[in-house]
Amino acid sequence: MTVSCVLVRGAQGYAPEPLGYVDVLAVGEWVVAIGRGLTPPPWAKAEVIEAGERILCPGLVDLHVHLAGGGGEGGPRFRTPELTLTDLTRHGITTAVGVLGTDGTTRSVAELLAKARALADEGITTWIYTGAYSAATRTITGSLRDDVLLVDRVVGVGEIAVSDFRGSHPSERELARLAGEARVGGLLGGKAGVLHVHVGDGPAGLGPLFSMLEIADVPSDSVLPTHLNRRRALLEEAVRWAARGGPLDLTTGITEEDGPEAVSAAAAADWLRNQGVSLGQMTLSSDAGGSAPRFSPNGELEAVGVGSPASLWEVVWALRRQYRWPWEAALALATSNPAQRLRLPRVGRIAVGHQADWLLVDPESGRIEWVVARGRVVVRAGSPVVWGTFEKRGAGG
Ligand code: ZN
């Protein structure tokens, strides 16, 4: 058996912290050296990439993706399709955490787990949440706690919907119970054990989560609400949630076109930062594969799109280019922060002993040109070179 090896030479590295101009060497799936003047070991089959002016950064960690599809609001023909390997890799996502969504009846956590395993076999890193929107939620083993403790890829419970007509309107006591199940499963299983909460358009906003903190001893940092940029008023509540020590997740698939109150994730992150929210409390996720309904001004369903995995990198790039964030800050929201929040081992950073999940990016255009996932080149000079089992080569864009 030949051992494969990838060497990137002379890149401007971001771990996401700045590394300066470096060479980075991976043998098999792992980073074994970071330094200057590195050479591949003579016994390995090596691919050497001359970085030129490109920057080298960690592969993106997307903590909220409908890997096995989602949606279905509007009827069965609006059930969104599964994502393929290159849907993710061509946009720089090398770690994805799967969620189920609204429909926990015709879709199941077991199906999501199988899909996550398939993508891992195909070459990226995957995890999942157990559960669906409803608080009387869906599991594999019959118990949320047992799922988190016993099922290898389950990192927590979610997405449980609050303030959304599609959810079950859980009481603060129910939310506390779900957070407890997630947390104890996590403690015993050595996982993050987070409760991941979908916050809908309803006027109650983050109210149910604040009420939960009043009645139960739930550590706020183990409850991760998402879609917080869907309304400006919700962002204001998010500042208060952060002041209580809670983490905030922004959805990159939400744009100003989603309604008069919607805020793009880049604008929202910049605004939160100016309000004094620490960067370590913020993450970005795409919500890719979920349905993105568009309503007419009088509230009628006009069309249903599908959230795109491209949005995650687009927002990192917007933070860098439009909002002038330093690379390390913009990158952290979609690499090291989500990895840390969900305690995903050995991803989200460029470091010796970590997985070789890398992007090489043109710093002028923001284009992702090379993607390495678990030590294998999956996108070369802008084009995917590794495809999912049933993907049509060259399809998509
Ligand atoms: Zn959601």
Determine the Cα–Cα distance for residues 104 and 100; give it in Å rounded to an integer.
7
- Tell me: pLDDT of 258 over 90: no
- Cα 71 to ligand 1 centre (Å): 10
How large is the average pLDDT for residues 270-292? Answer: 95
106-151 tens-digit pLDDT: 999 999 999 999 999 999 999 999 999 988 889 999 999 999 999 9
- Cα 230 to ligand 1 centre (Å): 11
Indicate the average pLDDT of the chain.
94
| Residue 54 pLDDT grade (very low, low, confident, very high; cuts 50, 70, 90) | very high
- Cα 186 to ligand 1 centre (Å): 22
pLDDT at 397 (0 to 100): 45
Side chain identity, residue 321: R
Choose the weakest-confidence range: 54-63, 117-126, 298-307: 298-307
How large is the average pLDDT for residues 221-228? Answer: 97
- Cα 160 to ligand 1 centre (Å): 8
Determine the Cα–Cα distance for residues 67 and 241; give it in Å rounded to an integer.
28
Collapsed DSSP state (helix, strand, coil) of residue 52? coil
User: If 0-12 CB within 10 Å is exposed, 13-18 middle and 19+ buried, where does residue 335 land?
Assistant: buried
How large is the average pLDDT for residues 348-363? Answer: 98
Percent of the chain clearing pLDDT 70 (strictly above): 98
**Using a CB cutoff of 8 Å and minimum separation of 24, what contacts does 215-221 make?**
215/172, 215/173, 215/176, 216/172, 216/173, 216/176, 216/179, 216/180, 218/176, 218/179, 218/180, 218/183, 219/183, 219/245, 220/244, 220/245, 220/246, 221/245, 221/246, 221/247
| Residue 240 pLDDT grade (very low, low, confident, very high; cuts 50, 70, 90) | very high
| Residue 304 pLDDT grade (very low, low, confident, very high; cuts 50, 70, 90) | confident
- Tell me: pLDDT of 297 over 70: no
- Tell me: pLDDT of 249 over 80: yes
pLDDT at 154 (0 to 100): 98
Which structure tokens are listed for 125? Answer: 């890193």
Choose the weakest-confidence range: 46-50, 101-105, 112-116, 240-244: 101-105
Percent of the chain clearing pLDDT 90 (strictly above): 84
Choose the weakest-confidence range: 162-171, 271-280, 311-320, 387-396: 387-396
- Cα 277 to ligand 1 centre (Å): 23
User: Beta-strand (E) ranges in 44-148?
Assistant: 45-50, 55-58, 60-65, 93-98, 125-130
**Phi then psi for 7, rounded to 5 degrees?**
-120, 120
Q: Which residue has the tokens 């460029």?
A: 350
Q: Provide the residues around ligand 1 (an ion) whose CB is within 5 A.
A: 159, 198
pLDDT at 299 (0 to 100): 64
| Residue 32 pLDDT grade (very low, low, confident, very high; cuts 50, 70, 90) | very high
* Set 146, 258, 287, 357: catalytic member: 287
- Answer whether 157's CB lies under 8 Å from 166's CB: no
| Residue 23 pLDDT grade (very low, low, confident, very high; cuts 50, 70, 90) | very high
How large is the average pLDDT for residues 374-388? Answer: 97
pTM of this prediction exceeds 0.75: yes
pLDDT at 78 (0 to 100): 86
90-100 tens-digit pLDDT: 999 999 999 99
- Tell me: pLDDT of 282 over 70: yes
| Residue 264 pLDDT grade (very low, low, confident, very high; cuts 50, 70, 90) | very high
pLDDT at 101 (0 to 100): 86
- Cα 327 to ligand 1 centre (Å): 28
| Per-residue DSSP letter, 290 | S
287 is catalytic: yes
Query: DSSP H helical segments within 132-259, as ranges?
Result: 144-150, 172-189, 207-215, 232-243
